[in-house]
Structures are given as structure tokens and as C-alpha cells.
Structure 1
Amino acid sequence: MKSYLAVLTTPGAWRFLLPALCARLPFAMLQIGILLLVQWATGSYGWGGVASAAAAVAQALLGPWTGRLVDRWGQARVLVPQTLTHAALLGGLLALAQNRAEPFVLVAVGCLAGATVPQVGSMVRARWANVLPPRRVGTAFALESVTDELTFTLAPLLLLPIATAYSPVWGLALALVMVLAGTLLFASVRHGAPAPAPSSDRTSAGVRGRRGVSLLTGAMLGVGTVFGSLQVGITALSAELGDPSAAGAVFGTFSAGSLVGGLVYGGLRSAAGRPSRLALLLALLAAALTGPALVGSLGLMYGAGAVAGLVIAPCVITGYTLLDALVPAEVKTEAYTWLNGAIALGIALGAALSGQLVDRLGAAPAFLVPPVAVALAALAVGLRGASLLPEAGDGVRDPGRSKALV
């Protein structure tokens, strides 16, 4: 715990961590909230799914452009207008749903709301990288991975009871209030925020054109399919076995395993090369994901999900820490949003592929998507791992010289 205490006791850290937590909960509520809202307004789960997927894809594709603006102009100057725009679009979506607007209108506005989601998680990581010494950054990213798990665990607990007892309008209205309060307060706290860099170090292809960034983006897209596919597969399997209410608890064991894995991994110290470690972790994750594909009962699914969860957080932590060593400070926010967007896109892709398999073949084939996707990511990293080491003289620290986590 000394590693975590050293990070959490960083002077001024709690000034931006607490409002960031409030701002990140609505991020986790948005996708399921839009699904429930559009289904409530149209009576169609199909339209709800389309609207939710459109918001997720728009957020994944537009997030890096937000990151680029933040690196160039600073966090506050981008966050304030972006948050107000996002709140206006979300409020418009609520009003349209109340008035039973046409489904395609709801999908379009939901897509715009997703495109304008404030990228607070990436900005928090950029602040950690700015205020901490290199040996502590990996531990901070482990803490961020755990925070992500907590927000995606708490979000349904806040949203679903309100949506069930009243309507999805009230659930997303809560998200609207939280994103305004949390994000604007976070923007007002300047401690740790990197200085703007109008003449950032960029290649002609942008951050993604830098050495190793595309490889990490592809690897995290594979990891993202795990979340989307397991959500669909576990839900479908629970329904097939006559106990649909068990789906939340089963997926909860996966989240709990990920939280524990992230905490334990975040306290480790190792001198092993990071690219080889990422390839090994991805291979272990692919192997662990064969468990859900092989079991046929909910009882065994609890254990299989927990084992897979233990490995996934270390994969994400290592990916972010490798990226931190590959890009200069002037473009870190944009770089982090590429990984965030890749994971979000992987979630949408995994859910879509698994949903098609469930419709045609039943629940079991849905669990085949994650191990295949992650195994391909492990193979790519194993073959091209050298590109994840900074080139000599590029001014970015070499992760192989540090014995800190990941």
C-alpha cells in the first residue's frame, strides 16, 4: 500500500480527484442511460441499442480530437465550452424523448451527445503524468484503472433504480447535473494541469502516427471487446438458463476480479521489459477467456468471470504506461484519448458481434469473440514489441530503464 499512499498523498491531488470522480460517473452512465431512454420513448430495444452504439462510436472517434485541442489550448479552455455543449445536447435529448420524437432524431442527438462527452479520465491521467516522478506514474495509472471499474460498477446502481422507479428521463437528468457540477469544478482546479503547448510535437499523421501508438491502440481495441462481449454473453446465457436476474451478479464478479487484479498489480515492482510483459498479459487474458467459453452453468461462470477479470486490469494499466513512455508531454492527453476511444470502440464492436451470434446461434458462441480478439492482440504485440520502446534520442523516457510498476 506504500505505493498507493505515496500517490494519493501527492500535494493537491485530491483537489482534482474528487470533482473528477463526480464528472466520470455520468460518463459511465451515458451508454446504458441512452439505451433505456430511447427504448422508453420508442418502445423498441432495437432503436435503443442503435442510439447507444452511435453515442459510443462517436465518443471513440471524436475523443482524440478533443484531446488534441486540450493539449494545444489547455484543459479549462476546452472543458468549459465542451461541457456546456454536451449538457445542452443531453438536455435536448431528454426533451425530445419526453415528447416522443422520431427514433432517428433521438439517435442523431444521442450520437452528438456521445461525441461531446468530456474526456476527464484522460485529463486526470495527464495530470498524474505531469505531477509525479516516472517511477510513480504506473501506480497512478493502476489507481485510475481501479477508478474506472468503480465508476462502471456504481453507475448502474445510481441509474437503474431511478429509471425503474420513475423513468429513464430522471436517471439521465441526474447524469446531466453531475457532469455539469463535476466537470466545471474539475476545470476550475488548475493544480496539475499541463501547460498548453500550441506548437506541440506532432507528426503529419498526428499522435497515432508516432512509433508504437497504433499498435497499442489496436491492442486496447481487442481488450475492449472483452467488456462488450461478456455483457451480451452473460445476459443471454442467464436468460437461456432461466435466471436473467443473475447476469448483473455474474458480471459483477468479473468487475470485482478486475478491481483486485488492478490493485495487486499496481503494488508490484519488476525489472521485466514492458513490451514483453504486455504480450504475456494479453496471452494470459486470452487463455483466461476460454473459461467463459467452455463453462455451461452460471455457478461456474462466476469463477470463470473472476479469473478473466484478474488479468484484464493489468493489461490496461500496462498499455497506458507504455504509451506514457512513447509520447512527449505536449501530446499526452490526445494519446490517452486514443486508448480510451479504442477500448470504447472495442466494447461497441464486441457487443455488436456477440449480439449477432446470440441471435443466430445462442449464447455460447458469444464467448468466442473475446479470446480470439485478445489472442490476435497478443500476437501483434509479440511480433512488433520493439516498436513499443522509444527510439534513442527522442526525448521520451525509456520504460526499460525503470524498475517501477509496468
Structure 2
Amino acid sequence: MANPYRELLTTPGVMGLVIASSIARLPHAMIGIGIITMLVQHTGLYWLAGAVAGTFTLANALIGPRVSKLVDQRGQSRVLPLVTAFSVGMLLALILAVYLSAPVVLLFILAALAGMMPSMPAMIRARWTQLFRGKPQLHTAFSLDTVLTELAFIIGPPIAIGLSTSFFAEAGPLAAVVLLIIGVTAFLLQRQTEPKVVVSSSKSTGSTLFIPGVRTIVVALLVMGVIGGSIDVAVVAFANEQGWPASASFILAAYALGSLITGLTFGMLRLTLSIEKQFLAGVLVTAVTGVLPIFSADVYILAGMLFVAGSSFAPTMVIVMNLGSIIVPSSRITEGLTWMTTGISTGVALGGVLAGLVIDVYGARAGFGVGIVAGVVLVVVVLLGMRILRAAPAMYPEATVQ
């Protein structure tokens, strides 16, 4: 049996795309935590650090789809250099402002402006879609992409924190800025895989959120993000309650490892089940396995439970991206993929907040209850949207043409 990954990586232009995209996606995993660590080191104020980083994240979530829409209309090579240069300038200004102890209001303004940073995960997935839309290789490509994204969020935050705590406070964010410049430059040099600008056959200029099925996907991803975000916070609280705070690192590593292994394995499969049924199956498994952590008696059992729970995450993400590539027309694919990325990142932030509130009142174990409730909501959202998801590809025939 042929190895799908070997077949994928030997496609002209793909190896360069994989290497460049691996660098380009790292800053997204580093900047938020880098801002937090930098401000805590300088001010000791966790609320300020969280608020400034949250402002950057929120601005990026709101501005990102607009930037991606412009990319769909003008092309990556014309838009990305400009928005990246602007974002880099604002991030450097923010770092300087923190160093100089500038007024707090300036920090918020610069963080919001830095949110112009392009959604590189969406830019990367747009290239995969351009290369393999309608082909079985797209499934493998999205599996590899999901695994590489997981690795970025495993590697990136410790690098940012380690640099800021070991050298100087600004080192983490500065490294993220340098990687952003290198990553985007290397990415843009991969001209062979750059998507062509597609002129839509329709006159619609509204948001891709109005495309039937997209809102269902974005809301589902938001709820999946709530599950992940609540687990992150609950694990830290549980480890503290058990008297072993450092164990949170290997517990969360087990969660990510489960996702990585199944993500790579899933990319080798060729499923005959319809994409909508795959989506429903994925969210059902996510909801059921999300119940497991609350039954953990100690950190070792929790690590095992989360390894199992994490095994559904990457495959479900792959299915969602495949579904999005079918529903969203070629002329609007980057914007659509950006809304999906926005959905899950917003959910992670919301899940962390909700879990924190519950844990403060009811304790660490109750924090896992947020993920359980979110799992039920996830299943309901997908069931309610199933009819629209089945009909969506037929309503947008452009989406099925490569």
C-alpha cells in the first residue's frame, strides 16, 4: 500500500511549503504568551498582561477575516507583505512601549493595531486547498497541517516563556517578531504553490459567514475551542490541587500527543463515509471522550484520560477543514478558513474564562464540567446544522471546481 504522506511530500512545491509554513505558524503560538510574560516581568500585573494580550487576540480575530478577504481579491504576494510589515511595526512599538513604561492606554492601542497580523494558518490551508481540492491528497494534507499546528503550539509557548525569563523580558515577543518576518518571507518565496486569484461567478461581496453551512462550522469550532480552553485551565488547577503543579505540563503533553498520533494516522485513511457523517461522528466522539477527565483520581489517570480525549481532536479538525473546502467557493476560501480559525481561537479564550470562573467557586474537578457541557452543545449545533451542511455544496457549485 502506498504511503499517502510520501505521495504528498513528493508533489512539486510541497516540501518547500511544509518547511516555510512550519516557521510561519510559530509566531501565532508565541506572541500572545510572549506579551503576557513580558508584561508580567515588567509590571508584575497579571490582569494587565492578560488584558493587553487579549486585546491583541480579539483585534486579530476581528481584523483577520477582513485581511483574508483582501487576500482572496488581490492575492497573497500583494497583500501579505504590507499587512505583515504593519503588524511587525506595531509589535515592535508595543515592545518598546513596555520597555519604556509607556502609559497603559498606549499598550492597548498598539496591541489592537498589531492585530492586523495575517492569519497564516488560513493562508497555508488555502494553499493546500488550491493544490488538492477535490482530490484524496487534501485529506492527508489537512492531517499533516493539523499535526504541524499542534506541534507549533507545543513548541512555541515554552520558547517564548523561556527566552523572556532566561534573558530579558522582551526576548520572547522579539523572537516571535523575527520568526514572523522570516516565516512570511519564506512562505511568499514558495511561488509554485501560491493560490491564483479566482474571480467569483456571483456578485456576492458579503461575509463568508452568510454562506449556508459556514456559520454551523464556525460555531462548532468555537464550541470545540471552549472544550480545549477549559481543559487547559482545569488541568493546571487540578495539578495544583494534587500538590504537583509541574505535572500540568506532561498532562497537557499527553492531551496533545493523543491528537498528534491520531491526526497522522487519520491522514493515511481513505474514508467512504460522507463528509457530513464524518463530521457528526467526530463531534460525537469528542463529546463522549470529553467526559473522561472528570473521573480522574490523580494526575497519572488524568494524563491517560486526556490522551484518549485528545485522540478525537485532530481528526475532527481535519474533517472540518475538508468540509469547509467543499462549502466555501474558491474565490473566498482564505476568508472562510480564517473565520474557522477565528472560531476555535475565540472558543479557547472563552473556555479558559468559563473554566476559571467555575473552578474559583466549585474547585478544579468542576472545571472539566465546562468541557462536558460544551460537548453536548457541540453535538446539538451539528445536528441542527446537518440539513444545511448536506445541501450547501449543491448551492455553491463553484466550490467543487478546482
TM range (shorter): over 0.9
Distance of aligned partners of 1:270 and 1:398 in 2 relative to their CA distance in 1, 3 Å threshold? farther
Unmatched 5+ stretches in structure 2:
none
2: distance between equivalents of 1:228 and 1:51?
Answer: 19
Match of 2:357 in 1: 356
2: distance between equivalents of 1:315 and 1:241?
Answer: 31
User: Deviation digits for residues 271-303 of structure 1, max 9, x if unmatched?
Assistant: 112112211211111111111122242111101
Amino acid at match of 1:96: A
Q: CA deviation at 1:198?
A: 5.7
Match of 1:123 in 2: 123
Match of 1:306 in 2: 307
Q: CA deviation at 1:47?
A: 1.3
Match of 1:156 in 2: 157
Q: CA deviation at 1:133?
A: 5.1
| 1:41 matches 2:42 | yes
Distance of aligned partners of 1:292 and 1:89 in 2 relative to their CA distance in 1, 3 Å threshold? same
Q: How does 1:235-250 map to 2 (within 5 A)?
A: 235-250=236-251
Bigger mean CA deviation after superposition, 229-238 or 289-298? 289-298
1:268 is paired with a residue whose SS is: coil
2: distance between equivalents of 1:366 and 1:201?
Answer: 46
2: distance between equivalents of 1:201 and 1:98?
Answer: 50
Partners of 1:42 and 1:103 within 8 A in 2? no
Percent same amino acid at aligned positions?
30
Q: How does 1:5-404 map to 2 (within 5 A)?
A: 5-113=6-114, 115-132=115-132, 134=134, 135-197=136-198, 201=202, 203=204, 205-389=206-390, 390-392=392-394, 394-396=396-398
Q: CA deviation at 1:52?
A: 2.0
Bigger mean CA deviation after superposition, 229-238 or 337-346? 229-238
2:394 is paired with a residue whose SS is: coil
Q: CA deviation at 1:118?
A: 2.1
Partners of 2:330 and 2:399 within 8 A in 1? no
Unmatched 5+ stretches in structure 1:
400-406
2: distance between equivalents of 1:337 and 1:371?
Answer: 26
Distance of aligned partners of 1:391 and 1:254 in 2 relative to their CA distance in 1, 3 Å threshold? closer
Amino acid at match of 1:227: G
Q: CA deviation at 1:191?
A: 1.5
Distance of aligned partners of 1:104 and 1:242 in 2 relative to their CA distance in 1, 3 Å threshold? farther
Distance of aligned partners of 1:315 and 1:44 in 2 relative to their CA distance in 1, 3 Å threshold? same
Amino acid at match of 2:36: L
Q: CA deviation at 1:165?
A: 0.9
User: Deviation digits for residues 339-364 of structure 1, max 9, x if unmatched?
Assistant: 00001100111111111222232212
Partners of 2:230 and 2:348 within 8 A in 1? yes
Q: CA deviation at 1:160?
A: 2.2
Ranges of 4+ aligned residues in structure 1 off by more than 6 Å: none
Bigger mean CA deviation after superposition, 206-215 or 129-138? 129-138
Q: TM-score, normalised by structure 1?
A: 0.93
2:11 is paired with a residue whose SS is: coil
Amino acid at match of 2:59: A
Distance of aligned partners of 1:347 and 1:125 in 2 relative to their CA distance in 1, 3 Å threshold? same
How large is the RMSD of aligned CA atoms in angstroms?
1.9
Q: CA deviation at 1:83?
A: 0.9
1: distance between equivalents of 2:165 and 2:298?
Answer: 29
Distance of aligned partners of 1:318 and 1:42 in 2 relative to their CA distance in 1, 3 Å threshold? same
Amino acid at match of 1:376: V
Number of residues of Structure 1 aligned to a counterpart in Structure 2: 398
Amino acid at match of 2:178: V
User: Deviation digits for residues 101-153 of structure 1, max 9, x if unmatched?
Assistant: 2334323322332x222222111111111122522111111111001001001
2: distance between equivalents of 1:244 and 1:112?
Answer: 36
Q: CA deviation at 1:386?
A: 2.2
Distance of aligned partners of 1:374 and 1:105 in 2 relative to their CA distance in 1, 3 Å threshold? farther
Q: TM-score, normalised by structure 2?
A: 0.94
2: distance between equivalents of 1:201 and 1:59?
Answer: 28
